Structure 1
Amino acid sequence: MVASALPHEFPVDVAQDDIDFMGHVNNASYLKWVQAAVIDHWQRFAPTDVVGQHLWVALKHEITYRRPAFLDDEVVATVLLEKVHGARAFYETVIKRGSEVLAEVKSSWCCLDAETLKPARLAQNVIDRFFVKEA
């Protein structure tokens, strides 16, 4: 049996303060969008009580920029959880305007216990909620 990640679409609001001196979205805004999209993904699929017990910290982002985004563009970030290993989660996020890929992001995150702020492993039944099993 194969498991496939459940995609999560996160609409992005391109704001005036995202625009840089060249008239398009500043690269730093993409990081802000990825963080918001990944956290929204976590909150959507994880049980509410588990969400309250855990925090996520980004460890690494690798961004490939394909096209610029502009003010008032309709942008969507699609998030996929690739795998979980220990307290680390590995994500792929694709940021698009319609069918145009604006950026592709590979990122790794560390799950923390909300009380102790130490790395925390997630139970397998929580991880399974982010995937669909296929025959």
Structure 2
Amino acid sequence: MQTYKQELTVTKDHLDHLNHVNNIEYVRWVQDIAEAHWNSKTTEDIRNTYYWVLLSHHIQYKAEALLGDALLLKTYAVKSGAVRSTRTVNIYNKSTNKLLSTSETIWCFMSHKTNRPVRIPDELTHLFS
């Protein structure tokens, strides 16, 4: 499995009323890194032909992130079926290597032409395995 990584720093805009990262930010980061991973591995032609929709999302919050924390996000595809793919995203405090959250998302592969699920081509499955 190929791991895709991103780094970010917690800003004031990420915080909630308790002064730690708002849960919705973790969800946004999970979605954003999945999209970035897809974009890094595919051509514009592929992206104009296919897209993904989120079917299921499960996230576990293990520790808080605070203003100024440097975070490391890691994602990889766990498994792929005919039209679905399961992805894991782990978010760490970069300086302590502490796991802050882990998520598993299930995505459905779609055709832009039909807006219906379509079988994931083998060449795309191999890009992420």
- Whether 2:44 is the aligned partner of 1:48: answer yes
- Whether 2:81 is the aligned partner of 1:85: answer yes
2: distance between equivalents of 1:41 and 1:103?
A: 19
Structure 2 gap ranges (5+) = none
2:105 maps to which residue? Answer: 107
2:10 maps to which residue? Answer: 14
2: distance between equivalents of 1:21 and 1:28?
A: 13
- Is the contact between residue 80 and residue 92 of structure 1 (CA under 8 Å) also seen in structure 2? yes
Structure 1 gap ranges (5+) = none
Deviations 1:8-40 (A, max 9, x none): 002235332220010000111111000000111
**Identical-residue share of aligned pairs (%):** 26
RMSD (CA atoms):
1.3
Equivalent pairs, count: 127
- Is the contact between residue 18 and residue 25 of structure 1 (CA under 8 Å) also seen in structure 2? yes
The TM-score, its normalising length taken from structure 2, stands at: 0.91
2:118 maps to which residue? Answer: 120
2: distance between equivalents of 1:49 and 1:8?
A: 21
The structural deviation recorded for 1:70 is 1.3
